[in-house]
Amino acid sequence: MSGVRRLLGGALLGLALVFPAGAGAFEQPFIPNPPTAVESAQVQRQEEQPLNNAPVWRDVRSGGVHITQARGVDTGVLIQSGGETWRALREGPISLYGGILLIAVPIILGLFYAWKGPMRVHGQLTGKMILRLTPWDRIIHWSVAITWLILAITGLILLFGKHVLLPVFGYTLFSWLAVAGKNLHNFTGPLFLVSMVAMFFTYLSRNLPEAGDGRWLAKVGGMFSGQHVPAGFFNAGEKIVFWLGLTLFGVVVSLSGLVLNFPNFDQGRELMQQAHLFHSITGILFMGLMMGHIYLGTIGVPGAYDAMRRDGLVDEAWAKEHHENWYNDVKAGKATHGAMADTAGGRAVPETSRA
């Protein structure tokens, strides 16, 4: 077999030598590319001012790409100054104001709790339950919530750990923690992205704007006045968490995270610096917003956590207190999500057919 191939190869080589296919190419005269404007300017400057190299060095300072034998991304760039901007922003305003925000939000929430206390149901609980969240609703919520928490904590370690944990743990232990945090962050990130997309479509129909959202927002849900404000399945505050948090912040952190997480696509430093700025700023804002969400989902509104955590059931009185329009729809059998539940078994038993 190999002998045949060698014979064939030899015959082809002989043919190529006798009838050079590209012979025409050798006869064509060499025509250099016409000089570009920059090149012409350079040639002219060298004739008129042979000692003036200032324009060359200006070009270097501006991060132009030049010729080099070193393979890799951006190796032809001599000075890339974007990194200094990135450093100044990260070690400056992002750390400072981000840190202040992340300390201030829990303090404000604590003060609010001390002042107003939890938002309890007015009157007695009925003991009759409504299925508010299906198992899928809850699974997808906790997929997002758990991956988000891992990302938030490991992200904070990378941004603030040096200032907060390193002095306590020492270099070696903190380095182990940071390695674990970095890898956890990088592998959890794509899981968050997938969960986030699934959650978006699962919860989308319940987060469309409705009549009454404006009124709810104007009164901030009666959080300060203690007034009763009716709301649908989700109130306007929850819709803000959905659209601003999950959707906008989620998309920005995910896309910028992908740019940072996969350097194997040979993206340059400049893109990664910009992605990192978007990633850290959005991440911090996301954390601030979610602190409010976690507060209202746990100690701020008794009953809310149980619905998401245990069986998805809420008391009728709770539903009427916090989501009156939805409660009325469920009662009337018009609700697209949620149904009357059999309290004993905790299973949904629709009283009427669903819309």
Q: Whole-number minimum distance, CB 70 to another protein, in Å? A: 4
User: DSSP states of 196-217 as a string?
Assistant: HHHHHHHHGGGGS--TTHHHHH
Residue 39 or 351 having the CB closest to another protein: 39
Among 6, 39, 204, 334, binds another protein (CB under 8 A): 39
Using the Cα atoms of residue 59, residue 62, residue 65 and residue 71 in order, give the sign of their dihedral.
Answer: positive
136 interacts with another protein by CB under 8 A: no
Q: Whole-number minimum distance, CB 103 to another protein, in Å? A: 19
* One character per residue 171-210, x = contact with another protein (rule: CB under 8 A): xx-xx--xx--xx--xx-----------------------
Sites for another protein among residues 65-104 (CB under 8 A): 66-72, 74-81, 83-84, 86-87, 90-91
CB atoms closer than 10 angstroms to residue 84: 11
Residue 276 or 322 having the CB closest to another protein: 276
In contact, 355 and 333? CB cutoff 8 Å: yes
C-alpha to C-alpha distance for 254 and 279, rounded to whole angstroms:
8
Half-sphere exposure for 281 (CA within 13 Å, toward CB):
14
153 interacts with another protein by CB under 8 A: no
Looking at the DSSP bridge assignments, the partners of residue 65 are 77
How do beta strands 129-131 and 339-342 pair?
antiparallel
**Stretch binding another protein (CB under 8 A), from 12-20, 129-137, 268-276, 319-327:** 268-276
Looking at the DSSP bridge assignments, the partners of residue 129 are 315
336 interacts with another protein by CB under 8 A: no
Residue 52 or 225 having the CB closest to another protein: 52
45 interacts with another protein by CB under 8 A: yes
60 interacts with another protein by CB under 8 A: yes
Looking at the DSSP bridge assignments, the partners of residue 339 are 131
Looking at the DSSP bridge assignments, the partners of residue 347 are 342
